[in-house]
Structure 1
Amino acid sequence: MNDRGEADTSSLSDAEQSRLLDIARSSLKSGLSAGRPAEVDLETLPPRLREPRATFVTLEKNHNLRGCIGSLQPSRPLAADVAHNAFAAAFRDPRFPPLREDELPALEIHISILSPLEPLEFKSEEDLLRQLRPQVDGVLLADGFYQGTFLPSVWESLPDPHSFLRHLKLKAGLPADYWSDTIRAWRYTVEGIRGPAIAK
């Protein structure tokens, strides 16, 4: 586990990690040229890249967030999920304008491969806070129709569990001081892969 809450990526070889980065890069280029994600030929990929996995793709420009879109539950093969989310992070994140080609040289791609969601059992907000593992856990919080998640990397800017949870509630559309007996929470870890948007 590194200081960004990313698990050891030894489950994927260097070649497999590089292939996922290439797929993300291709999806950015396809979005710029054709307005759609890159098509992934699954038959040419190793088995682990064809397994259903949930991913997030985060784009950073000069170390600032430029887009982040992901999946919490596995619904597509790993490679296809990366292609879909890379395109969506670049062109469908409502917080940012669509990516321009002249931004590519300053862009870095971060791929987060999620572990299965682990439900947390707690009796109070303090009980939940005690269970959170700073720098390790990604957290999904939900209450009714309200839902939000923070990847483990968010601990870098919100290292205090109380502040982390308050901001997560805001992201979910809830007041920062909100609490209810119906709140549910899950945690997960991620395998992290990162590289420049233009291969060196």
Structure 2
Amino acid sequence: MGFKLSENACKFLVRTARKAIGSKFDENKLITNKQDIPEELDFNSGCFVTLHKNGKLRGCIGNFREDKNIVENVAEMAVQSPFNDMRFPPLTKDELSHVEIEISVLSPMVPVNSFDEIKIGRDGLYISKGIFSGVLLPQVASEYGWNVEEFLKNTCRKAGLPADAYKAADTKVYRFEAFVFSEQDLKE
């Protein structure tokens, strides 16, 4: 991705995400003083917040909103991921200390004109056709060892479309990059 964040900014976002999730259990409002936010986080961006428990996916929700500050967006997606990912039951208070938080800060989406533009490990995919849409983050293709065609097919499946739907003229395919970091990356 064209930008990186400092370790301090990454730690701030991870702490913000963990506090946001914890606030759902403690019924406390998440309050962040504007002066505490690192200056480099004064930008708008989409993001995904992914939770892992014992190395396995436990929740992942995000958006591509470019009209919301990254700190606010991370806090909002951090609350959505453990409680609104329909693939998993809601996170329990006991589980909170056992989950690892991963954050993906997203670049704007770019339409794909040729599938040769897609680079595994760099690009995530967003595919839409009619009312169906699906997204897979850049790290997913790398984790599963997929080539570009497998990545396209699996993104179609995630969207609830036939695996070859990406070939249809009325299917829209976009790529994006992500700056990804996790609590594990930031441990000293």
TM over 0.5: same fold? Answer: yes
Q: In the alignment, which residue of structure 2 is the partner of 1:165? A: 152
- Whether 1:14 and 2:12 are equivalent positions in the alignment is no
Structure 1 residue ranges without an equivalent (≥5): 1-6, 123-127
**In 1, are the aligned partners of 2:45 and 2:64 still within 8 Å (CA)?**
no
**In 2, are the aligned partners of 1:59 and 1:109 still within 8 Å (CA)?**
yes
Q: In the alignment, which residue of structure 2 is the partner of 1:3? A: none
Percent of counterpart pairs with the same letter?
Answer: 32
CA distances 1:142-186 after superposition (whole Å, capped 9, x unpaired): 122221111011111152222221111111111113342111111
- Alignment TM-score, normalising by the size of structure 1: 0.83
- Summarize the alignment of residues 146-157 of structure 1 with structure 2, pairs less than 5 Å apart: 146-155=132-141, 156-157=143-144
Give 1:134's aligned amino acid.
Answer: I
CA distances 1:111-147 after superposition (whole Å, capped 9, x unpaired): 000011111113xxxxx2x332111111111122221
Give 1:152's aligned amino acid.
Answer: P
Q: 1:97 to 1:177 in 2, by over 3 A?
A: same
- Whether 1:176 and 2:163 are equivalent positions in the alignment is yes
Alignment match of 1:134 (pick from 120, 128, 134): 120
**Whose relative contact order is higher, 1 or 2, with alpha carbons under 8 Å and at least 6 apart?**
1
Q: Matches of 1:101 and 1:8 in 2, distance apart?
A: 37
Q: Which moved more, 1:81-90 or 1:93-102?
A: 93-102
Q: 1:81 to 1:37 in 2, by over 3 A?
A: farther
Calculate the aligned-residue CA RMSD, in Å: 2.1
- Whether 1:187 and 2:175 are equivalent positions in the alignment is yes
Between the two proteins, the alignment pairs up a number of residues equal to: 184
Q: Matches of 2:91 and 2:35 in 1, distance apart?
A: 30
Q: Matches of 2:88 and 2:51 in 1, distance apart?
A: 11
Q: Matches of 2:84 and 2:31 in 1, distance apart?
A: 17
CA distances 1:77-105 after superposition (whole Å, capped 9, x unpaired): 11000000011001111111111122123
Q: Which moved more, 1:37-46 or 1:181-190?
A: 37-46
Q: Which runs of 4+ in 1 moved over 4 A?
A: none
